[in-house]
Structure 1
């Protein structure tokens, strides 16, 4: 059993979470296109180590609220969702750990609410402070093909590709960025769309990654078949709004104790190598940074034992609450 399912609500917020264990609170925040289930291996490990591990469905996913207004998915709202969960659970502070978009949400939670989030763990996507040109301008200038972030911007466009076969699309997406199934070097990049094409055309077919069983895929697909993908995609559709909202934090460092772990084969890590190199300035509280050889993007599912050891070791070394 992964843990106890519950919903916390109030002030217009409704957030589904799964909780296991007792002790200092560790809030786990997933990325795209996932759910609380991405942390199924971490929940029991953290609980066994003496922590109260809580994995949420991010706004727009799973059993959490999915507002119709795209503006409701801006970063400031997601940060306040995390702070709300901490309060709703009767705690004053927590450690926040995120993966993929959850890493970005976790970093901004620590940045905007240091009164609540006393330490931050980042998986797969490095912390890169707000700055530079407007994100849509950056992604529009990435070459002759269309970057997936730009492809996701138009409401309904990606949904039309994904929703007729959610299970098949998810299987291909997970495989495309897993260390054991990603396309070989030199193959067309699955993060880009050719003229008039789709992302799925470049996904590996016919093989699931080693970390993803049929039952696991059923869990992910079942939730998105029920909710659709718009809530999840609205996170991408707020990147320019976030850039405007966070102008006061341009170049801001996160001083709390932090951890970073990424996959050695993950484009999110390699493309943002400069962000990792800048950690002495941007994450002055960094305790440890790790690259797992041969690992792709889904780090806590591809290498659960290694990630659990890194998290527990880091958590155990944090100042007592």
Structure 2
């Protein structure tokens, strides 16, 4: 989806979403003189869905972003991502700095490649419970949970990570499953988050009902492969102008608090970093107006 004219801003979504996650940002960026383009990441929505898990490795997604920039008749772009899109945007800026001149990161902080193999880290999380990233690894397993009722699963997943509907302290953590259980067992069963209408949910559900979940889940199944592919960039900083916006209630910002603290080293071009009180994971939808103000202010600060 595209709105506006001017310098190109590429918007990259995460899991389990689509270009539609940026519906509140497209007009706001266009209004201040940018060509805002929200893509369906490979494997989602109307994008291509090649066979094989390895087709969804980070290096392939980086080159997809480069190809989009060139297909739009441009040589460079500003890139902004949310959730997995934040990691895709960060690595796009890291690996192809001649194309991506500035980077905005939403919800998931930048943490340079390094440390142990990711699967080893995730397998040690949760003790007797299973971390959701580990749960997603086996092809077909999460699909068997989600695909019989895509709409219901998405509703629960969005609610589980939204600031107004997430489980309160002391309740079972929806990022983990019991051994042999499902993630959905821990999702809230009440109303939808305030930012998600029935019509919005329909948009997401229809796309995943049409495509299935495997291509989207394959992103998680490439984390060890990414760790190997990106060895050349071990511990590398992103030097372009950057901004980070996270939700104070989002597990991504609490678990990765050390990554945020390391920004003076890992993001030396950081213009500003923000944690929004009371906000969960779906930040550009939960706090659309505030995020739009922060993004447009950051864009205005960039060199022309």
Question: Fold match, TM over 0.5?
Answer: yes
Pairs within 5 Å for 1:1-321? 18-142=1-125, 143-320=127-304
Q: 1:195: how far off? A: 1.9
Structure 2 gaps of 5+ residues are none
Deviations 1:62-113 (A, max 9, x none): 0000111110000000000000000000001000000000000000000000
Q: 1:278: how far off? A: 0.2
Q: CA RMSD in A?
A: 0.4
Report what 1:10 is aligned to: none
Q: Which has the higher contact order (CA 8 A, sep 6+)?
A: 2
Q: 1:206: how far off? A: 2.7
TM-score by length of 1: 0.94
Structure 2: distance between partners of 1:290 and 1:53: 22
Structure 1 gaps of 5+ residues are 1-17
Structure 2: distance between partners of 1:24 and 1:315: 10
Structure 2: distance between partners of 1:217 and 1:68: 27
Deviations 1:134-193 (A, max 9, x none): 000000011221000000000000000000000000000000000000001010000000
Structure 2: distance between partners of 1:60 and 1:185: 35
Deviations 1:11-35 (A, max 9, x none): xxxxxxx110000000000000000
Q: Secondary structure at the match of 1:40?
A: helix
Structure 2: distance between partners of 1:195 and 1:145: 6
